[in-house]
Structure 1
Amino acid sequence: MSSQDERRTATVTEIAAPTTDVRVVRMRPKEPLRFQAGQYVRLWFDGLPARDYSLGNRPGEAALEFHIRITAESAVGCYVAEGLRVGEAVGVDGPYGDAFLRREHRGPLLAVAGGTGVVPIQSIVTTALESGMQQQIHLYWGAYSAADLYAESRFRDLAARHRNLHVECSVAVPDSEHRKGYVSEVVAADFSSVTGFKAYVAGPPAMVSATQDVLLARGLKAGDLHADPFVPGDHHSRTVSP
């Protein structure tokens, strides 16, 4: 695409701050965006470098949802924290990515997230549940501390309504309510075999790699592993095609 005018645009409708370094931004596109749960889009904020962000909403919902990590190294993140306003137009391109929900799968589903990698996992899990998938769904989310598990209550509420959803959250900084350890270690402790599973993994590259190793060693077929490593920073930030 050669200009901002040729891109799809969306209008910012809500900006929330669940933690000091995460902003949840919701936007309403001028035209409906068709995508699969787990995919991502490319966003342009006010002339800044393009960034890839996963969609946290379900396909078909009116508002697009993004969770944006705020870091000093990212001009985009700093702008979202300090300059972005409701009503602003944002350029949107996509969707992209192959790490999307396979609705035809009938075996168990394992969704593993690290940090804000929870965004596509949220879309995958909520879409699976709302579309009536009945198999066992295991959601694992690892973060630095309990404060970073900002969407945990939402997942707990989902699990209370859907008996086939099981939620495990872990933290690097121990507390009285969560398991301690890297999320890949927690998954390794809980599963001796994942043969027949379909797995979705999203988060920092090291976390994704460690989780892939755990799952493949426990019998997961390579074709049943859908991963989406993400590198913080500006411009196109995917390390592989997710």
Structure 2
Amino acid sequence: MATVSSMSSLNSHISRVVIRLESEMNYRSGQYVQVILKCGRSGYFSIASPEKTGRMIELHIADTRKPNGFLKKLKVSDSVAVVGPMGEAWLRSDNSKSVIVLAFGSGYSYARSILLTEANRNSDRRVSFYWAVRSENDFYERDILESLPKRISINLHLLNQESNSLSGIGALLTKLSYTHTCLADHDVYLVGKRDVCLFIRREICEKLGAKSERVYSDSF
């Protein structure tokens, strides 16, 4: 069993949950775990910590606002089971291709692991991070984002509240295309709803030359 070591608020609906594992876990940036409570309730969460081997992992968990929501059932010192790591959309660090990471809402935790891992590498690889949310208040950890090396660019994007999800994503892709006219030599990492990620993959492959085999997401 693992133990909930600490919990703290990151914004109005996201909490940082640090879990101490019974034994060391080897994981890659972009992978996720399943957390199982004693009552049997479980959830899947991206590991927000940078890639490393250790007994502590950080998760960012959203409050669903429901009375029986996962976060409401979690308390410091609780014993939980952690299954993983899982996922195939992990950071490929065996090449020098430039990287683009697109995250939506609480998908930031997935991107965070990739960004911090890349920041810790002795590399000149360029990384562009795009984070799209519905409200300005959804952004958090701006101090961490601002402290990243200059080779990692940060692009914060507010989705149009009045548009449907895919037309709002179109505006984000237009913004991306201003600085990235061709993605043939990029690795692209996506985290979000399945229909959104599939839409983005199709658009960037057809219009920006991205290679489908170099577009990674566990939503596919």
Superposition TM-score, scaled by structure 2 size: 0.87
What are the ranges of 5 or more consecutive residues in structure 1 without an aligned counterpart? 1-8, 175-180, 230-239
The answer to whether the aligner puts 1:101 opposite 2:53 as a matched pair is: no
Task: Could you list the structure 1 runs, at least 4 aligned residues long, displaced by more than 6 angstroms after superposition.
Answer: none
Question: Of residues 215, 218, 221 in structure 1, which corresponds to 2:204?
Answer: 215
SS state of the match for residue 206, structure 1?
helix
Aligned Cα root-mean-square deviation (Å) = 2.0
Matching residue's letter, 1:124: I
Matching residue's letter, 2:157: S
- 1:118 and 1:27 map into 2 onto residues whose CA distance is 19
Question: Of residues 40, 47, 59 in structure 1, which corresponds to 2:32?
Answer: 40
1:74 Cα offset (Å): 8.4
Range 193-202 or range 207-216, more displaced? 207-216
Name the residue aligned to 1:28: 20
SS state of the match for residue 112, structure 2?
helix
Question: Of residues 144, 150, 157 in structure 2, which corresponds to 1:163?
Answer: 150
Native 8 Å contact 1:170 1:186 kept in 2: no
- 1:151 and 1:89 map into 2 onto residues whose CA distance is 28
Name the residue aligned to 1:57: 49
Q: Deviations over 1:104-161 (max 9, x none)?
A: 1212111111111111111111111212232111011000111101133311121xxx
Distance 1:212 1:74, change over 3 A: farther
- 2:5 and 2:121 map into 1 onto residues whose CA distance is 26
Q: Deviations over 1:197-240 (max 9, x none)?
A: 011111222332232123212111111110133xxxxxxxxxx5
The answer to whether the aligner puts 1:198 opposite 2:187 as a matched pair is: yes
**Matched residues, number:** 210
What are the ranges of 5 or more consecutive residues in structure 2 without an aligned counterpart? 162-167
- 1:200 and 1:167 map into 2 onto residues whose CA distance is 15
- 1:128 and 1:153 map into 2 onto residues whose CA distance is 17
Superposition TM-score, scaled by structure 1 size: 0.80
